[in-house]
Amino acid sequence: MRRPLVVLLIGLGLALILLVVHRDEGISTNDFASLVYKTALVVFIGAGVLAMFRDRFSKALETALFWVVIALALVLTYTYRFELRDISDRVLAELIPGRAANRAHAVEIARGNTGEFQIATQVNGARVPMVLDTGASTVVLTNDAAKAAGLPIEMVKYTVSVETANGHALAASVTLDRLAIGGIVERSVPALIAQPGQLKRSLLGMSFLNRLEGWEVRGDKLVMRGYP
């Protein structure tokens, strides 16, 4: 056990040297005590491991390096957790059509394979896929989407005249309590509900876009900026 003890003393000596070298840099006594404690603990455990594997030093060293790498990976992951979250958002936005990648008060959405911007929205808490339609003056929901969002479709009256790709149709005027795309949330958004069978996909129109601070298409990316 003499060799582990020597290693322990060397470790503590290094900690004392660090204190002397960095004393003028603002390391407090409590911080140093914590440093000494942690150093002693690591050295003691390391010395114990070396003592257990004194006849198999290479295996002990390999085991120690493995746990050092694991510890460093955990520290780096925690330190850069917010950056890693942004990276994962961007990767998922590229892989999943319509998924929004959040950037501060803005979101980015990649163009789909069909050439359209398919957008995953939340209407009153329900997931409703929409297609960007700048020619639509308002948000338009399919009848099924309105039902999923909990709107009272049995009570609405289809009295608003609209023009669709299939020609003239009637829709019902409603107000959405909440419409969210990524981190952008708008409340009390005017919208229309299409009659059953009149619309295949819900449309994200200008009644939502006009509420934003700004939006633009950059190549294959739709960028929407909400107010802080």
| pLDDT digit string, tens, across residues 124-153 | 999 999 999 998 999 999 999 999 999 999
Output the pLDDT for position 25: 47
C-alpha to C-alpha distance for 43 and 190, rounded to whole angstroms: 66
Q: Where along the chain do its domains lie?
A: 2-79, 98-225
Output the pLDDT for position 7: 54
Q: Which among 183, 181, 218, 220 has a CA at the least distance from the CA of 202?
A: 181
Output the pLDDT for position 218: 87
> Of residues 168 and 222, which shows the higher confidence score?
222
- The pTM is what? 0.61
| Three-state DSSP state, 64 | helix
Output the pLDDT for position 42: 64
E strands of the chain, at which residues? 101-103, 106-110, 118-123, 126-132, 139-141, 160-164, 167-181, 184-194, 202-204, 214-218, 221-225
Output the pLDDT for position 49: 61
Give me the phi and psi of 125, to 5 degrees please.
Answer: 90, -10
CATH fold, domain 98-225, is Cathepsin D, subunit A; domain 1 (2.40.70)
Percent of the chain past pLDDT 70, that is, above it, reads: 56
For the record, the structure tokens of 97 come out as 């059509």
C-alpha to C-alpha distance for 121 and 186, rounded to whole angstroms: 11
Q: What is the pLDDT of residues 74-113, one digit of tens each?
A: 766 667 666 656 666 666 656 666 677 777 788 889 888 8
C-alpha to C-alpha distance for 139 and 190, rounded to whole angstroms: 7
Are 218 and 110 in contact by the 8 Å Cβ rule? The answer is no
C-alpha to C-alpha distance for 142 and 169, rounded to whole angstroms: 13
